[in-house]
Amino acid sequence: MKKIFLFAVGVMMMQLAISQSNKQVAWTYNAKKVADNTYEVHMVATINGDYHLYAQDVGGDGPIPTSFTFTKNPLLQLDGKVKEVGKTVKKFESAWNHDVRYYEKNVDFVQLVKLKGNAKTNLSGKVEFMVCNEQKCLPPSDVEIKINIGG
């Protein structure tokens, strides 16, 4: 019985730790038409307090880079890779023993998509990210993405 109780407490603590990452970053999404059937999808991360969010190319092993995984949609075609728009900080972090790239306060991740025809659909998937400050890193977190496109 004691082992079951300790296991349950451990699972709850892990869930609490993972949910802390979501509290440190607020995600907003929107799509902007830039040409006929072509949209810029903006996935904006607003980072709280003294935390920072790692770039997609963090610069080496160690922290979990921000990554996007999109669900296949026959009505959409991704055009290129997700671009980062924001002030990149490149700094040596002793925890990783090398320079890393990250963002403070906010960053706009932009994915270009082409709509096949005059349809209304959505781009969905998830973003995985990790945040740290000078004292600690929070466990990586996943957030669902769903953005309306077209129409």
Among 60, 26, 24, CA closest to 135: 24
Q: What pLDDT, on the 0 to 100 scale, is given for residue 21?
A: 58
Alpha-carbon distance of 46 to 25, in angstroms, equals: 6
Burial code (b: 16+ CB inside 10 Å, e: under 16) for 43-70 equals bbbebeeebbbbbbebbeebbebbebeb
Mind listing the pLDDT tens digit for each residue in 30-84?
999 999 999 999 999 999 999 999 999 999 998 999 999 999 999 999 999 999 9
Residue 17: its pLDDT value, please?
41
- Asked if residue 86 has pLDDT above 90, the reply is yes
Q: Is 11 helix (H, G, I), strand (E, B) or coil?
A: helix
Residue of 40 and 150 predicted with greater confidence: 40
Element (DSSP H or E) covering residue 2: helix 2-24
User: pTM (2 decimals)?
Assistant: 0.84
Which CATH homologous superfamily contains domain 2-150? Answer: Thiol:disulfide interchange protein DsbD, N-terminal domain (2.60.40.1250)
